[in-house]
Chains A and B, each alone.
Chain A
């Protein structure tokens, strides 16, 4: 069965430091992968997506993610975190029937 694992429930990073949020997926076919960000009480905002081609994907707000098929991973990175990046981050895979399966999410805290 398809699944998405985000091993870190929460992460705390100092403002200006680099960030990496981990995501591993389980899916038999070529995955369509997404990262979303959600602020409290808000809907989802798409950060970036991977369908095919270049495995390093650039997104909005300075985020990027790298697809590594051998590791079944799609980790999200940002070189310098801003206080406004504090939010919940969800990794997701589109499975059969175009259903989106979400990871449990990682809460990012940014300290001054």
Chain B
């Protein structure tokens, strides 16, 4: 089956630093990748949609200058949290779509900002 990986699985950083999270589709080419954010005991909220080679489309209320998304290839998308603050601490999950209606989800990245 289609596999999506995320790296790192956990990251702890100091306030004010930037953190990059990678999302890779391991055995398929992802035409579209999605980034979600999940606060404790809450549902997943879509942050942005990215298509390879084009700018990401951000959901309302998501700061595009704070959450930089790069979809440089059909198998890799990155999310960079710039100038991270404690309120950015969350579980970040990516998903990838090959071309159909189903998305394949990564295992998530736990970000803790001190």
> Residues on A close to B: CB < 8 A?
32, 34, 36, 41-44, 46, 49, 51, 90, 94, 97-105, 107
Tell me whether chain B's interface is mostly helix, strand or loop, or mixed: strand
Contact yes or no, B43 A43, CB < 8 A:
no
Asked if residues A51 and B34 are in contact (CB atoms below 8 Å), the reply is no
List CB contacts (< 8 Å) of B64-106 with chain A: 91, 93, 95, 97, 101-103, 105-106
B44 engages A32 (CB within 8 Å): no
Cβ of B79 to closest chain A Cβ, rounded Å: 15
In the complex, per-residue mask of B25-59: 1 if CB is within 8 Å of any chain A CB, else 0 = 00000001010000001111110010000000000
B43 contacts A49, C-beta separation under 8 Å: no
Q: How large is the interface on B (under 10, 10 to 19, 20 to 34, 35 or more residues)?
A: 20 to 34
A98 and B32 within 8 A (CB): yes
Do A100 and B95 touch across chains, with their CB atoms under 8 A apart?
Answer: yes
In the complex, chain B residues whose CB is within 8 Å of the CB of A100: 34, 44, 46, 95, 103
Q: Would you call B108 and A42 a contact (CB within 8 A)?
A: yes
CB-based contact A43/B32 at 8 Å: no
In the bound complex, do residue A42 and residue B97 qualify as a contact, i.e. CB atoms below 8 Å apart?
no
A42 touches B49 (CB 8 A): no
Q: Which residues from chain A contact B110 at a C-beta distance below 8 Å?
A: 41
Instruction: From the candidates A46, A97, A98, A103, name the one contacting B43 in the complex (CB within 8 A).
Output: A103
